Structure 1
Amino acid sequence: MTETPASARRAASEVRTVYSRLRRRLREVADLGDLTPSQTSVLSRLSKDGPATASMLATLERIRPQSMAALVAALAERGLIDRTPDPTDGRRQQISLSEAGRQVVEGSRREREEWLAEALARDFTEAERQTVIEAMGLLDRLAGQ
């Protein structure tokens, strides 16, 4: 096995550190109440990908089905999701965003994107913004592995 290059180790450390700081900052900007990061992630996935079963969500979120069941129950209790019988298998339920859930996701997304756009416009040059766009493509490729 070959040794990991020092540049890869440094890049890994930098990505992890910056990601953590940016994530905290974005949570501060968006008023998500007391939703957990896992709950927020599920709402975001439903918004982006549409309805899914709990087992599909567990697989996509890479958590145990029991953990997803608890997340779904908490989101349903808050009225942020709707559950309907799966049209192909009546034993399962399709989970989708409720109107209240959609408003939470869209409001949060809008607040975070506005903050980011204003900060990028104010503090970065056009060339730096293009570099950020290119870096996001690379990080997206990494996240897809």
Structure 2
Amino acid sequence: MKSYRFVIALNLFLVTVPFANADSVDANWSVVGFTGEAWFINPQDVIGSTQRIQRGSSEGDFLNCNAAGQSGTYTRYDNDAFFANPEFERFIVLRDEMTLSSENIFVHRITCEGGGNPFNRQVLYPFVTNEARASAWYLFEGGVFTLYNPNVSQ
């Protein structure tokens, strides 16, 4: 009888607890800008391009992984904690833009195993989004590329 009550209590708990939605980056992201210092890359060669991330594969100027073991994870930060982290200091100039309509920032790490070939292994980090999900930011060299998801209304 006690185990029966436990099962009922557990089911009631699970029904009343809101499920967390994972933050997804699956989209065709348009590269729309660059802020900061370019060391070797010419940002104008990348602005206007598209970074596609979709269901285990990617294609674009930052990551290419054709179903070769792509996986991802992310860490959620509240806005203040993100900008207080020295690892993300290059994003500070974009603080107003990044915190607009959002209380949380998601820092994604997307990896591609490369289909068993060590020369094809890649990492896209930090790829940053917020709760508005219309924009993303990617730290590269001494600056940050801004990307836009045209399928999300702002």
TM-score of Structure 1 vs Structure 2, range by shorter chain? under 0.3
TM-score (norm 2): 0.23
Structure number having the greater strand percentage: 2
Structure number having the greater helix percentage: 1
